[in-house]
Each structure stands twice: as structure tokens, then as C-alpha cells.
A and B are shown apart, each in its own frame.
Chain A
Amino acid sequence: MLARCAQCHATFTTDRFGVQRCPHCGAELLLADPNAPPPAAGESSPPSGPGAPPFPGPGPAAPGGPPAGPLGAGELPPPPGPPPGGYGGQAGGWGAPPPPPPGGWGPPSGGAGQPPGGWGRPPPGAAPGGPELPAPFADRARLGFASAFFETWKLVATQPQQFFGRVRVDQSGSAVLFGVLAFTFGHSVEQLYGLLAGAQAIGFLRRFVESMPEEQRDLLFRYLEGATGWSSVAQIIASPLLGFVLIYLLAAVLHVALLLLRGTPRGFDATLTTVGYGFGLALLLAVPACGSLLFAVWYLVTLVIGLGEAQRCGPGKAAAAVFAPVVLLCLCCCGLGALLGVGGLVNFGHTPSGGVSL
């Protein structure tokens, strides 16, 4: 879960309730468990829950409140009262939740015990939309690089509709950086697999394609050899540049398609933001064997949802804009798969004598 420090207003991830220390400023804060039973009368715990008396502050102890020790020589003064915004953001906790920082992001909007204005899933029945927020990755200086990166990845992968509907589109530099970093990692790992397992894969396939015509077989092996060996090393080295160029070119192609469909009310930045943050899914390329397929399918779905939300053009136009270039690409590349597949199937059944043995 996400928590916000009342002292520095920074957010952080925690997996427990209770007293803990803010990782950003070191302040101690209490994160009350909303499901915990109310404290019994007479307990020396701070009052909580709706209708609880306000925190008494310095002075004599209130019934049920924290004991106020007598002031004596050399003793510390009693703790000050709560700040005007209260501690933490728990409903019925130590005070009123602090308002979210302007343009900031935080815990789920309107969720139990959470201040509004965050990235989380809205509660059932809540009105859709809300103010635009910078992506956590755009706020990485405050949140910490790794935490911001994975928070953003999680939002893009699991809540694309909400994320792209509310993310600010004037920070496309962060989106491009996010996509380039994810692509560099995923693509490099994918190429490493090719480098390590390429020779075995080619040897394995060689036995299965012996019945194919020589021309098709040569073409297949040229593709496979092109995806292994020195080509892999070169691609690993060039990954950041490749990712950067791919993001811009893909954004340009999609924007042209959206232009034709009159689906670009928010300009090129919105398209670039969607393509850039969506490219974060390239981390999936690091999954062995099925990573490319996983990435391709998930990315297409995310693009359709993301462009529809970020450009406010709806999923229909977004889907048309995404799939038109894909169809064009298929005209170039699917020929390979289709013809190789058909050729392989047809030739698989043929014996050298020309008869068919199915």
C-alpha cells in the first residue's frame, strides 16, 4: 500500500500498519489500521475514530488521552499538538488529512483512509476522471528512481485506462526516458538469450526444416543467424539508441494515423507520452521464450487503451490508428510466417519420391 508522510508529504510503499519511519525525511509517523478494533476505554492510546475527542495538546491529560507528564527541571516539554493538517491521512485518525500537493500524486483517490488525488483505483461509484497528475516516474527526484519506475510500470501494465486518462502529457521527456530504459533492459536480455541459445536453436530447427525447399530454408536460417551472434552484441550496444528512435518513429506513425482519423485533440505530446510509457512493457522481453509475444499483445492493448484516453479520442479511433500500421507491417512481414508455415506444412507431408504420406 502507499502511504504519505505528513511531514514532507512524500509517498512511500509499506506493507504494514503502525508506527514507522518515513524513508524520505526520517520522521516517525503512525499508520493506523482501518480494520483494527477500536481501542478499549481507558487505554492510553491516542483517540481515534469518528467522534473521538480532539487531541488535547500540551496541558493536562484528557480522559483517555495520552498522559501529560508534569514539567520539571531537566525534563523534556510535552510533545506539541498535531499540525493543522493532522498526522497521516487516516480517516478518523489524528486529524484531518493533509491536502494533496498541487499536481502531485499519492494514494488511491477516495480509498479508505486515503487522501484524494492519487493514482489508485477509484472506489466503486466514484466519478471518473479527475485532475491531471504527473506520472510517478516524472516525479522520480522526489520518490526515488526505482520506486518511481516500478510504480509507473505497475500503473501502465495494470491500470492503463486510469493512468493514461489522468497522466500529464506535457512531460513526454520522462515518458521517452522510461520507455528507453525499459526497452534497453528487456531487449538486451532478449538478445543475451539469443546469444546463449542461438546455436542450439538453429541446430534443433535444422532437423525440422530439412523437407522445406532450399530457398525457404536458406531464408529462415538467414533470419535466425541474423538474430544471434554478433548481431546480438551490436543490438545490445545500440539498444538505448534503438529504443529512442523506435519510440519517436512509432509515435510519428501513430500520430499520422490519428491525424487522418481526426483523433489528435491533445497534440503529438499525448501520443508520444502514450507510446513512451507503453514502451515500459518492453521489460517483458526479458521473459524467456514467450517474452516477445507477451510484449506485442500487451503493448497493442495498452496502446489502444492509452491513445484513446490520452488523446480523448475514444477506443475506436485509437484501435483503428494502432491496427492500420500493424496491418501494413503484416503486409511486409506476415508473408514470411504465412508462406513459411504453408510451405513447411505442404512439404512436411511430401516424401522425396513425390508421394504424400500423411
Chain B
Amino acid sequence: MDGGARAARRFGHAEVFAAIGALSFAVARFVPVLGLGPPCPLRALAGIPCATCGMTHAFVALAHGDPGAAWTASPLGALLAGGVWLLALADLVRLTVNAPLPAAGPRLARAAAAAGIVALLANWAWLVARGVSP
């Protein structure tokens, strides 16, 4: 197999998601995203945070090395940011040592997806109960 084909095979969907994760770190760290765009419309008008409220703040805070502020803004956002960036790093290491991509079975993937939904709803409930904007 030539180098081009090998490289093409190695740069699959996992690498694309890892690159998007790395891009999210760069944006959160170097682009003033908190000053861009309007606030959450649901919270601005009804006073209720939406399910993803505080995630931008969490990403930005964690990218600036402040995990406490990230957790306060949105626990799920802090976990998501950390997880995504660790995934990007892990994939880079995997590519460097030429290790195979670990495969998750359909049952594990379904369990992870269900856990993600539950986490999102729990995070939303926590945000609503707290009722404090970051």
C-alpha cells in the first residue's frame, strides 16, 4: 500500500471529529466568542435557561485554564469540553504510534448515547434549579 492510500485510510471520521474538537479549543481560547452573538433567547425572555446554556462559557473558561468557572457555568459543558479535547489529543497520539482505532460495539454505543441524553437532561434540570446565569 502506498503512502497516500495509507494516509487516506488513517484520516477517517474519528480524525475529523478530533480536528473539530481541536478547532473548538482554538476558538474558545483565541476568539472572543463571548462578545459575539446575542445571549440565550429563552433565558433573556423567559428567565429559564435552555438545555445548552452556559456551554460556551464552560468551553471558554476551561480553555483559559479555569475549571471551576467552567463547572459553574455548565457541568456538562465542562465535561464535554474536557472530553472532546482529550479525544483530539488521544487521536493524535494514536496516529503517531499508528495504533488501531478502538471499536465500540453497538450495545456500548447505544448505552453511551443514552447516557449522553440523560446527562443533557440532568444538566438542564440543574441549570433550571440553580437559576443563576453564568
Which residues of A pack against B, CB within 8 Å? 215-216, 219, 222-223, 226, 231, 245, 248-249, 252, 256-257, 259-260, 262, 264, 268, 272, 328, 331-333, 335-336, 339-340, 343
User: Which chain B residue has the least Cβ–Cβ distance from A257?
Assistant: B113
Would you give the shortest CB distance from B129 to chain A, in whole angstroms? 16
B1-44: contact bitstring with A at CB < 8 Å (1 yes, 0 no)? 00000000000010011001001000000000000111111101
Asked whether any CB of chain A lies closer than 8 Å to the CB of B110, the reply is yes
| Further pairs besides A262-B110, A333-B42, A339-B41: 10, Cβ < 8 Å | A222-B38, A231-B36, A245-B23, A248-B13, A256-B117, A260-B114, A264-B106, A328-B51, A333-B41, A335-B48
B45: chain A residues at CB < 8 Å are 215-216, 219, 335-336, 339-340, 343
Would you give the shortest CB distance from A354 to chain B, in whole angstroms? 22
From A259, A268, A340, give the contact of B13 (CB < 8 A). Answer: A268
For B13, B38, B50, B110, which residue has the most chain A Cβ atoms within 10 angstroms?
Answer: B38
For B23, B45, B51, B109, which residue has the most chain A Cβ atoms within 10 angstroms?
Answer: B45
A249 vs B21: C-alpha distance when bound (angstroms)? 11
For B17, B42, B52, B106, which residue has the most chain A Cβ atoms within 10 angstroms?
Answer: B42
Q: Is the CB of B44 within 8 A of A272?
A: no
B interface bracket (residues with beta carbon within 8 Å of A): 20 to 34
Beyond A259-B113, A260-B114, whether A249 also contacts B44 by CB under 8 A is: no
Q: Is the CB of B20 within 8 A of A336?
A: no
Give 7 pairs: A residue, B residue, CB < 8 Å, sorted on A.
A216-B45, A226-B37, A252-B17, A332-B50, A335-B41, A336-B42, A340-B45
User: Which chain A residue has the least Cβ–Cβ distance from B124?
Assistant: A331
A267 vs B45: C-alpha distance when bound (angstroms)? 41
A226 vs B33: C-alpha distance when bound (angstroms)? 13
Which residues of B pack against A, CB within 8 Å? 13, 16-17, 20, 23, 36-42, 44-46, 48, 50-52, 106, 109-110, 113-114, 116-117
From B13, B17, B44, B110, give the contact of A260 (CB < 8 A). Answer: B110
A188 vs B104: C-alpha distance when bound (angstroms)? 39
Would you give the shortest CB distance from A42 to chain B, in whole angstroms? 61
A245 vs B19: C-alpha distance when bound (angstroms)? 10
Beyond A223-B38, A256-B113, A268-B13, whether A332 also contacts B20 by CB under 8 A is: no
B106: chain A residues at CB < 8 Å are 259, 264
A71 vs B117: C-alpha distance when bound (angstroms)? 82
